[in-house]
Structure 1
């Protein structure tokens, strides 16, 4: 469900590893426009009914360039939203339906070895990390995620 809409200017968010997160950034004062009532989660709907993209959104911190009236997107998000840097786009708050939890996540692991020792991965800790990190985050199909353990 979407609510009131705003026009925001797209700015670049192409920091190292930004393509691995499906999070858009805005100023802290604008974040309140996207908070889901009764929670600390925020989602933004970019576009319109025929072509819409839903992203988790958070406020800008160190290194994120968005200020009031701007939304920082990574290159993959710009492509999926059919938006260009410097362009004005229509955005609105996305209110998820009930039970909007992670339903399916396909995990493909590639372990980077620092030496010749055998590496082991604790599946319980990994699954807890995945649930804690992604349970309320909107994910795009085939979006990779880089994890440092």
Structure 2
């Protein structure tokens, strides 16, 4: 699906999506028209899903991140869907992942401090439906967080 030219464009684009087609084309060694056409094609094909701002939540005063591993009560047929729908409504839940195995769901929760986390945990997390078991893992450091692909 992708050829070497597409990969060159993507390699530079994923490092700086604010580059205009002319600058990106120059880095990728193609004409601006070719670069723009290929970006459009990759967007239409779903290879490039979005351009977005990445906000540093630490800069906004969120100092605590906790991963919650949740096992659901699977005796309820709608447990997964109802849990996920309710978890999406909690503003401090910034990521929801599902798994096969002993753990069904992982929630990534942020809070301003431990008192705020405790309030969110008690009032919003523990009230989520169909929780059979929950385990909290406090984040100490983010060693690597990279969305750049090896193209």
Q: TM-score, normalised by structure 2?
A: 0.21
Q: Which has the larger radius of gyration?
A: 2
Q: Which has the higher contact order (CA 8 A, sep 6+)?
A: 1
Q: TM-score, normalised by structure 1?
A: 0.21
**Structure having the larger proportion of residues in helix:** 2
